[in-house]
Amino acid sequence: MTSSQEARAVVLEAFGEPVSTRGLPVPDPGPGAIVATVELAGVCGTDVHLQAGRLPIPLPVVLGHEGVGRVAAIGAGVTDDSLGAPLTAGDLITWGSSISCGDCVYCRDLQEPTLCERRRIYGINRRADEWPYLGGAWAEAIYLHPGSMVVRLESDTPPEAVIALGCAGPTAVHGLLGVAPVAVGETVVVQGAGPVGLATAMYAQLAGAARVVLVGGPASRLERARALGVGDVHLDLDAQGPAERLDAVRSLTGGRGGDLVVEATGVPAAVAEGLDLCRPGGRYLVLGQYTDHGPTPLNPHLVTRKQLRVLGSWAFSQADYAAYLRTVPQLAARFDLPRLLERFPLSDAQGALDAARAGEVGKAVLVPDAA
């Protein structure tokens, strides 16, 4: 931080405009709260959508819902992290991006905290012009409210590995470990080679899938996946049409289709293809339809005839983030996660956003102290 009172932060002031960096006050942490300095902050496709004004959020906002940092100041009553490890200033930590209310029907009765309608989300719905100002990770410091999930990182969970998948990691955990678990020996087809697709394919491999078919594009993304050891079969969207892709999947599966197909594209048309790619009796995990593009042509007869289970998965909870962190060592042992990183200084946040939009980097991360 440039002073004990101020931290530089990347602020989205107006939709469609470049982000700007400015100084914001650093409050002392209240009871139960923590102020952390940020070491690495992820840039995610959602940030691109936020800047474009595709989601209804309050402005101005400090962006950044993915972060790793160090405890700078601890509020009264905080002695442990969320998993019970003792916490002191200087500890390396990460935090869950959202705080569910714990009290609504979804949180309490239905045990679906991701559906909580009062979720507070760092970097998304915290105003930068109201106390405590520092509500996102694209800053030198962040204010972590009571109720945040804060986890001290152990040596087997390096910051670079935690941030490499960004929120795609826990999103895949929620979908693949929670909503639609993979059984050992299954064939999993993943539609999409972006961060969510990659993370999903990695977890499918970890879960013992016999074969993971990664369908995506452009070729450079598939190439990156291959280099990391993600996916066993790679189908290039630009090189093959839907019929060829269907043939390819069927020829791998005795003519039947994938046991589990995962949609991780955000493109509505992918859903029609996904229903075709499932075997009779299979599951279709719709993990990526975050944006409302309205209706698209889909054939409901397939759901009845093939007796499919089409399963939606929205966001992730603090529990999913805990599960993600618990499994980062396993991911890191199998895949060279840090290789995905491309670092940008905080002052070039707009450059990082542009790179993320273009899909030309594995994972853009901001390094606040890199200036």
- Write out the binding residues for a copy of itself, residues 143-162 only, by CB under 8 A: 149
Closest separation in Å from C-beta 213 to a copy of itself: 16
Among positions 89, 247, 280, 360, the unique one binding a copy of itself when judged by CB under 8 A: 280
* Minimum distance of a copy of itself from residue 212's CB (angstroms): 12
Q: Which residues contact 175 (CB under 8 A, 6 or more apart)?
A: 200, 262, 285, 287, 313
Q: Which parts of 206-265 interact with a copy of itself (CB under 8 A)? A: 206-208, 210, 254, 256, 263
Cβ proximity to a copy of itself: between 10 and 315 the closer is 315
311 binds a copy of itself (CB under 8 A): yes
> 234 to each of 194, 222, 363, how far by Cα in Å?
13, 7, 20
By CB under 8 A, residue 5 contacts a copy of itself: no
Residues of this chain, 317-356, that bind a copy of itself according to CB under 8 A: 318-319, 322-323, 326-327, 329-330
Helix (H, G, I), strand (E, B) or coil at 71: strand
Q: What's the CA gap between 310 and 345, in Å, rounded?
A: 41
Q: Which is nearer to a copy of itself, 179 or 367 (CB)?
A: 179
307 interacts with a copy of itself by CB under 8 A: yes
Distance between CA 287 and CA 294 in Å, rounded? 16
Give the list of residues 6+ apart from residue 297 with CB closer than 8 angstroms, or none: 272
**By CB under 8 A, residue 94 contacts a copy of itself:** no
Q: Contacts with a copy of itself in 42-81 (CB under 8 A)?
A: none
d(CA 304, CA 298) in angstroms, rounded, equals 13
- Which C-beta is closer to a copy of itself: that of 194 or that of 351? 194
User: Which among 275, 260, 144 has a CA at the least distance from the CA of 208?
Assistant: 260
Residue 262 buriedness (CB in 10 A; 0-12 / 13-18 / 19+): buried
Q: 56 vs 254, which CB is nearer to a copy of itself?
A: 254
Among 272, 355, 367, 370, binds a copy of itself (CB under 8 A): 272
* Interface with a copy of itself, residue 83, by CB under 8 A: yes
